[in-house]
Structure 1
């Protein structure tokens, strides 16, 4: 993972320099920088990054405004940096496509630890999807298609279709939806989902599952604010409701 391509976006050079220094010491040397949101958007159009650190308060377009545009070209983890510490600001960051939210002032070693954790998840999910694709090609095992009427998920092709149209789906979002489709009508807590899909114990303050559930709902629900497929069971967790028309068959 030390050859991961990282983009640092901040208009304060002292912060860029600090993060670069610490990342270099940890072996991450493939690092680009940008001082504005517009420069970050241009950089992502020209190059594929494995992780982006994005400041919220940028000149011109803010990080919150830029993030949705970046999400059109990349599914790489995006870590927000911000002096804003309210829960509303953090939830907004997750809602527009962020994967983590780090408040200033920060411990640079903690930032590096979070970067390493996000890269481990990102590369792990990408590797898992690649493995499943190779398994399909070699016909070593049969994979399933899960058809829920409005949406259809093909495990072998790693494809999500909604109303017959193929929908772009980041690796971890796909893996979480696939796990729920394999276990319909069962309630899972956020920590259980995290352990099953990410393969490690969750942190007590981790919002990753909540963010990814939101991204699934944006894709498969007619009204994401009033979901009919992925239901939140208050105090217990989430479940995927399998209606009578839900079908599973071999591809």
Structure 2
């Protein structure tokens, strides 16, 4: 069952779309703003995102999602029909549907995106770890226990997995995970790597998964 993360603040439309998609066999998480998306994003197969939202608008939320989850399809919904709005939406989103729309068209577009972005569950074996690429789960195969990572730990480790065997500078990692420019002397990255090592390394004091490349940055090597 595919999980749809649906962000829409208009109650009537939100209830209608959620019920229609649920009746068609989708699992729908409906939010009225982008505040709690981090709770559900890693388990979602597609994001349906309205443009006009309280707080951060849909364009800002969509760009952030795409930056952190480039392989997650985003379908924008909007009553704004100007060419400029569509161009802005399609700068990061994978499709743009204007309101009002027919439910059959919405479902057709969802299915197209799911087929395009369908991910097979591949397993990467990394020493005592098995990483499931489809949902990002990390399992210690010696104890058969899943290692639970916090949001930033998860994104940090996934960034390393996407760049296996590459030596990454602190600047590349920080900009890739935090989306901001790295400031020399900032300890944030070092602290998060230390906490991540405590969860995934057999001996965090002598790490063999996340290698420190002196004077440059870090590397995760198969």
TM-score, normalised on structure 1? 0.47
What is the deviation of 1:25?
2.6
Cα pair distance change 1:53/1:112, threshold 3 Å:
same
1:34 equivalent in alignment to 2:31 = yes
Q: What corresponds to 2:101 in structure 1?
A: 106
1:91 equivalent in alignment to 2:87 = yes
Contact 1:79 1:100 in 2 (8 A): yes
Structure 1 residue runs without a partner (length 5+) = 135-157, 169-251
Contact 2:18 2:30 in 1 (8 A): no
Q: What corresponds to 2:49 in structure 1?
A: 54
| SS at structure 1 position matched to 2:48 | strand
1:71 equivalent in alignment to 2:66 = yes
Output aligned runs, 1:181-196, within 5 Å: none
| SS at structure 1 position matched to 2:43 | coil
Cα pair distance change 1:43/1:159, threshold 3 Å:
closer
> Hey, what's the Cα distance between the residues in 1 that align with 2:86 and 2:78?
9
> Hey, what's the Cα distance between the residues in 2 that align with 1:59 and 1:42?
19
Q: CA deviation digits over 1:46-102, x for unaligned, max 9?
A: x4210010000001110001112212442211100101111211111121x211100
TM-score, normalised on structure 2? 0.53
Q: What corresponds to 1:219 in structure 2?
A: none
Contact 1:41 1:70 in 2 (8 A): no
Q: What corresponds to 1:11 in structure 2?
A: 9
RMSD: 2.8
Contact 1:78 1:100 in 2 (8 A): yes
Q: CA deviation digits over 1:101-147, x for unaligned, max 9?
A: 00011111100111111111111xx23x949x89xxxxxxxxxxxxx
What is the deviation of 1:40?
2.9
Report the number of matched residues.
134
Structure 2 residue runs without a partner (length 5+) = 126-160, 174-222
Cα pair distance change 1:65/1:159, threshold 3 Å:
closer
What is the deviation of 1:159?
6.1
